[in-house]
Structure 1
Amino acid sequence: MVNNAAEAYKRQQVLTATPEALTLMLYNGALRFMTEGREAIEKNNFEEANTALQKAQRIITEFRVTLKMEYEISHQLLPLYNYVYDRLVEANLKSDVTKVDEAKAIITELRDAWAQAMVKARKEKGQQANGA
Structure 2
Amino acid sequence: MAITNPYAAYKQNSVNTSPGELTLMLYNGCLKFIHQAKSSLENENFREMNLSSQKAQAIISELMLTLDTSYPIFKNMLVLYEFVNSRLIDGNIKKDSEKFEEASAIITEFRDTWKQAIQINRQKQFGGVNEV
Corresponding position of 2:32:
32
- The one-letter code matched in structure 2 to 1:85 is N
- The one-letter code matched in structure 1 to 2:60 is I
| 1:63-74 matched pairs, under 5 angstroms | 63-74=63-74
In the alignment of these two chains, the number of paired residues is 122
C-alpha distance after superposition, 1:65-115 (max 9, x if no partner): 110112222111000000000000000001100000000000000000000
- The one-letter code matched in structure 2 to 1:60 is I
Structure 1: any 5+ residue segments left out of the alignment? 128-132
The DSSP-based 3-state class of the residue aligned with 1:48 is: helix
Structure 2: any 5+ residue segments left out of the alignment? 128-132
Instruction: Give the whole-Å Cα distance in 1 for the aligned partners of 2:118 and 2:110.
Output: 12
Instruction: Give the whole-Å Cα distance in 2 for the aligned partners of 1:9 and 1:71.
Output: 38
Taking only the aligned residue pairs, the percentage that are identical comes to 42
Is 1:120 the counterpart of 2:116 in the alignment? no
Corresponding position of 2:56:
56
Comparing 11-20 and 79-88, the one that deviates more:
11-20
Q: TM-score, normalised by structure 2?
A: 0.85
Instruction: Give the whole-Å Cα distance in 2 for the aligned partners of 1:77 and 1:23.
Output: 14
Q: 1:47 to 1:9 in 2, by over 3 A?
A: farther
Corresponding position of 1:84:
84
Comparing 8-17 and 91-100, the one that deviates more:
8-17
C-alpha distance after superposition, 1:5-37 (max 9, x if no partner): 8x8698557633110000000000000000000
Q: 1:96 to 1:13 in 2, by over 3 A?
A: farther
Structure 1 stretches of at least 4 aligned residues deviating more than 3 Å after TM superposition = 7-14
